[in-house]
Amino acid sequence: MRVSSGRYKGRELEYPRAGLRPTKAITRQAMFNIIGTRVRGARACDLYAGGGSLGIEALSRGAASVVFIEQQATVLRFLRANVRGLPDATVIRGDVLRVLKKLADAGFDLVLADPPYLHELVQATIDRSAEFGVLGPDGWFVAEHHRREMPLAPAGWEMVKQGDYGDTMVSVMRRMA
């Protein structure tokens, strides 16, 4: 897998051979097409980071910084290798739903989330992010999820767009100012 656009275009990303579902290039492109120029200068967070493709893509497209959160030790080795040498990349090991509490009032401009499919994590992640103020005013939350999981925007947020890519969907929400 490679970074598809921006400063690090073509950079190869390493992933474990099994047990991980990296975001497909077409889905990643669609996500960043929806976000558009909002990524430039953004303080971003990549939840369920895996090998880091979403957050690295954000850095490549001009994000000021990205915090990557991943729990699995075996995957963390790949994530750390993939972000090595990238300025403004911070890796945190931990359960996303627990780490979100530690990021209370972080005020990120952009949160990218790709939780494991069909584990009821997408809505829980959105709700916890809203509860703890992880997004700043006008911050954007972009979630990749299975089509059978249809998240709702919490109070104070609005659904901006949903895209359908086979079994995968992308839901884009914005915290209203």
**pLDDT score at 58:** 97
Contact 124, 156 (CB under 8 A): no
* pLDDT above 80: residue 21: no
Contact 23, 150 (CB under 8 A): no
How far apart CA 125 and CA 151 sit, in angstroms, is 10
Contact 138, 118 (CB under 8 A): no
CA 3 to chain centre: 15
Domains and CATH numbers, the chain: 41-157+170-175 (3.40.50.150)
Measured at the alpha carbon of residue 167, what is the angle toward residues 160 and 173, in degrees to the nearest 5?
Answer: 15
Q: Sorting pLDDT into bands at 50, 70 and 90, what band is 17? A: confident
* pLDDT above 90: residue 159: yes
Taking residues 6-34, what's their average pLDDT? 83
pTM above 0.95, yes or no: no
